[in-house]
Amino acid sequence: MYSALQPAKSRPEASTSILLELALDTVPRVLGLCDRNAGSVTGGCCDRNYWHYRLLDVANARFQEAGYLFALAYDTAAPQNAFCGRQRMADWARLAWRFWLGQRNRDGSLSEVYPNERSFCATSFSAAAFTETIRLLGGAAEWGRELELSRPTFQWLAKNENVEVANQMAASWLALAGYARLTGDEAIARAAQKRRARLLLSQWEDGTLAEYGGLDVGYQTITMSTMARILCLDPEDRELQVALRKAEAVIRPRIGPEGECDSRVNSRATQYIYPYALASLRSSLLPSILSGLTAGTVLRPSWLDDRYCHAMAVDYFLAYREIAACS
């Protein structure tokens, strides 16, 4: 029974460990979505509607971001994490990325819904998760072959963009910056710098990172989370730090004391909030989110559908790790 049903006075104090518990809760579900049989033709595919139910003629590339979730579960040390250090998790992460490499279009782009779609969103987010996984699981020394094979994807990202949607622009920036950092590829590093300039220039004076012409608190936190991950690659980027602070300031009045947010006024009507950037900024909004999670007023990763639960769980892992590292 959710604690929202309890009177406020009797609720336990919000604890950051709830972030880890909720992230861990989704891991068995996402593992179940994935074809974990390395010998199978679809080994590593995490779109169950494609490989298992056979309802679709194309596997959604965004499901492959599960590889990053497996890597985080493998790498996050905590007494309650039964996945930590289990080699199978690292193997399944690699298997997911091998399938991703094989499912790309000839030009390196990826599809979400129909063949030859060349989805900027799917390519950006999955490529970013790919580089983040490699950073976590051994770096270029362990993943040299995969990095070499993946180069066309990053070249495609360097040539394509979607300026109307800040969260996708940020994801492509993280992907390009991550790849450049891992490989030392100068052309991709220049593309990452250009993408950085495009995104930071597009931020409104009040801090909004626009989604189809307006502020959407849910997507704003996704964009902020991605930018906070880029800041880990370059902690000295002052302009990025300022942009993140401004982005946080604009959503502050839109989030209530128990993390509640009116989705009707969001430009894309999102209902959720990603906590990682708030954790990395030590934002005063984070206790509200934690309180909302305990109270049942904030959406949890496991409440999202198969397509989005893993991405949100990744953010919960990152938020937990950020706080645990500083405590």
Partner 1 sequence: MLMTTGRLIALRLFNISLGRSAWANKVLRRLLVRALIGRQKRDARYMASSRFFQMSELN
Per CB under 8 A, residues contacting partner 1 are 28-29, 31-32, 36, 41-42, 50-58, 82-83, 86, 88-89, 115
Query: How far from 87 is each of 14, 73, 83, CA to CA, in Å?
Result: 33, 11, 9
In whole angstroms, give the CA distance from residue 140 to residue 63. Answer: 23
Per-residue HEC secondary structure of 139-162 comes to HHHHHHHHHHHHHHHHHHHHHCCC
C-beta of 20 vs 127, nearer to partner 1:
20
C-beta of 88 vs 194, nearer to partner 1:
88
In whole angstroms, give the CA distance from residue 226 to residue 127. Answer: 13
What is the gyration radius of the CA atoms in the chain, in angstroms?
19
C-beta of 9 vs 106, nearer to partner 1:
106
Q: How far is the CB of 103 from partner 1 (least distance, A)?
A: 12
C-beta of 88 vs 282, nearer to partner 1:
88
Q: How far is the CB of 43 from partner 1 (least distance, A)?
A: 13
CB 293 within 8 A of CB 18: yes
Q: How far is the CB of 195 from partner 1 (least distance, A)?
A: 32
C-beta of 31 vs 95, nearer to partner 1:
31
C-beta of 85 vs 144, nearer to partner 1:
85
Q: Which residues contact 144 (CB under 8 A, 6 or more apart)?
A: none
Q: How far is the CB of 116 from partner 1 (least distance, A)?
A: 10
Q: How far is the CB of 85 from partner 1 (least distance, A)?
A: 10
Of the chain, the end-to-end C-alpha distance in Å amounts to 30
C-beta of 86 vs 307, nearer to partner 1:
86
Q: How far is the CB of 306 from partner 1 (least distance, A)?
A: 12
Q: How far is the CB of 87 from partner 1 (least distance, A)?
A: 9
Per-residue HEC secondary structure of 64-125 comes to HHHHHHHHHHHHCCCCCCCCCCCHHHHHHHHHHHHHHHHHCCCCCCCCCCCCCCCCHHHHHH
C-beta of 20 vs 182, nearer to partner 1:
20
CB burial string 115-141: b at 16+ within 10 A, e below: eebebbbbbbbbbbbbbbbbbbbeeee
CB 44 within 8 A of CB 34: yes
C-beta of 277 vs 313, nearer to partner 1:
313
In 3D, which of 96, 97, 72, 94 has the Cα closest to residue 84? 72
Helix (H, G, I), strand (E, B) or coil at 214: strand
Q: How far is the CB of 62 from partner 1 (least distance, A)?
A: 18
CB 255 within 8 A of CB 288: yes
Q: How far is the CB of 115 from partner 1 (least distance, A)?
A: 5
